[in-house]
Amino acid sequence: IKKIGVLTGGGDCPGLNAVIRAIVKTAASYSISVVGILDGFGGLIHNQTWKLTEKDVMGILPRGGTILGTTNRDDPFNYPVIQDGKKVLADVSSQVKNNLHQNELDALIVIGGDGTLKIALGFHQIGVPVIGVPKTIDNDLSATDQTFGFDTALTTATEAIDKLHTTAESHHRVMVLEVMGRYAGWIALQSGLAGGADVILLPEIPFQMSKVIGKIKERRDHGKKFSIIVVAEGAMPLGGHMVVQKHIEDSPDPVRLGGIGNLVGVQVEEGTGMETRVTVLGHLQRGGSPTAFDRILATRYGNGAIHLLNSKKFGEMVCLRTPDIKSVPLSEAVGELRQVSPEGQMVKTAEQIGICLGR
């Protein structure tokens, strides 16, 4: 192997640059040259590349985002093209193969979440030598103990809870913090534990609003004049979408209803009579400098990806099997979501120390 391509796909995540840096540096030690593909698979469709030298990756270790750019769009197997004046989805994977060939790339390292890794698997199946590197702040890929980016997002969310605590206490308010996590509540659960939340609502445990309100009232009856609620963006009340829809229809102020955090905030205020404020942390969780943990994990993944290449383990993805970096076939890694277990030890711990999970 003499020359390889690397791309980042899907939502960005702190630590991507640390992976790219480790790939370039490790590759250099084997005299392999690295070409960066710009903006995910889109860069392979349109042949937008950047020859990466060790100089190009100088100083990027602590930088958030990705120097290569990324996108959630641009699946070469389902790519929008205009045919007979109409927009249709076409398979442009042969164009990608041509561009790989034209750039003399012997293999491709794909850094991405579930969606991007599924595309990587597709290329492996049509004969492109591919290596995967898992990435998501949600930490919901079951094939690895941890994804880089999660620890940084968790730290950001915990700091937000700490800050909300002081203002909640001063104003005797209920503070609702909505954090990311559409299908898995790892950020909500762990930041809630780390930040000392009173209520944590997860996608994995449908919640009853009566229990949430009961918990806030109970605290107030014990002289605690403020409360902190952490809610994952994918959390749902028991009864799911119907309950949310009904509330939107009934609400005198539907403008205040955005995500689930706003719904919880409105209902808590109505149910307790306590002043309530909602913060949606959003993309702050995806930005900024990676924590030491994420820098190290990302560096180990980048290094591990080159070792997989050298041993020709194509179609595999690096993963953490604590304390080692190992690999797993992409076919086993994609589509396997790791959710919080409602009866797991971490959830039980939360409940035993008095945190309400809405059930």
Binding of ligand F6P by 230 (CB under 6 A): no
- When binding is defined by CB under 6 A, the residue of 74, 138, 178, 316 that contacts ligand F6P is 138
For residues 25 and 57, is the Cβ–Cβ distance under 8 A? yes
CB of 114 to ligand F6P, least distance (A): 8
Q: How many CB atoms lie within 10 A of CB 339?
A: 17
* Candidate segments 78-86, 130-138, 204-212, 294-302, binder of ligand F6P by CB under 6 A: 130-138
**Residue 318 phi, psi dihedral angles, 5° rounding:** -70, 150
- When binding is defined by CB under 6 A, the residue of 72, 102, 125, 349 that contacts ligand F6P is 72
Token reading at 157? 């969310």
CB of 182 to ligand F6P, least distance (A): 4
Task: For residue 213, give the 3-state DSSP assignment.
Answer: helix
> Rounded to the nearest 10 degrees, what angle do helices 186-195 and 345-352 cross at?
40
Catalytic position from the list 39, 138, 151, 198: 138
Binding of ligand F6P by 258 (CB under 6 A): no
Q: In this complex, which beta carbon is closest to ligand F6P, that of residue 35 or of residue 231?
A: 231
Instruction: Please tell me what DSSP assigns to residue 40.
Output: T
Residues numbered 6-45 forming contacts with ligand F6P, rule: CB under 6 A: 11
Binding of ligand F6P by 286 (CB under 6 A): yes
For residues 75 and 123, is the Cβ–Cβ distance under 8 A? no
Q: Catalytic annotation on 324?
A: no
277 is in an annotated binding site: yes
CB of 313 to ligand F6P, least distance (A): 26
Residue in the shown chain whose Cβ atom is closest to ligand F6P? 180
Nearest to 20, CA basis, from 67, 62, 55, 59: 67
| H/E run at residue 90 | strand 86-90
- Alpha carbons 106 and 101: distance in angstroms, whole number: 8
Token reading at 58? 């100088």
Which parts are annotated binding residues for ATP? 11, 73-74, 113-116
Catalog residues that contact ligand F6P under the rule CB under 6 A: 11, 72, 113, 136-138, 180-182, 233, 286
Tell me the catalytic residues: 138
